[in-house]
Amino acid sequence: MHDNSHPLICVYKNTEKENFPLILIIGREANNPNRVENKVDLYDFEGINYGGKKASSTAFWNISYKFIGEINKMKGKELKKICKKKGSSIIIYADSMPKSIPNKKNNKKEIRQENLEEEINEHIENIFSKEIIKRVKIAILSGVDKEEFNLPFNLIKKKV
């Protein structure tokens, strides 16, 4: 799972093998030093995340589970518990930008602006070309309200 790359789409355990509808949560970019690869791979609540930290401390995952849990009148921890028991989840993740930026970097805006339009186009096309995306019924964009996200935001809007 952790081969110095970050997947294009992250799914929980056996989610790909199931057939229920999904919620796609799209954030800014991966917050680790790993390159983004055009693949679907796993995320885990108990293990190590792609940045090499405890997965339980991944704020983006925790906040999204809390949000989706609250919509369903439960706590995020309760939703996670159900997902752990079933070995799959209704939540999958992707990033709007094609390159990772470690959290500790201070000049994220400048780094984001280094993404070429062609790279962003290809990245979004790759996300929406994956088989699992056919099951997505809701897409939620998170944290992409700054100017540097206009292109991926507009491309994603056209896809959903």
Answer for the pair 44, 15: CB distance below 8 angstroms, yes or no: no
| pLDDT beyond 60 at 125 | yes
Q: How confident is the model at residue 33 (pLDDT cuts 50, 70, 90)?
A: confident
pLDDT of residue 104: 87
pLDDT of residue 51: 60
Angle at 36 between CA 105 and CA 150, to 5 degrees: 70
Angle at 56 between CA 115 and CA 109, to 5 degrees: 20
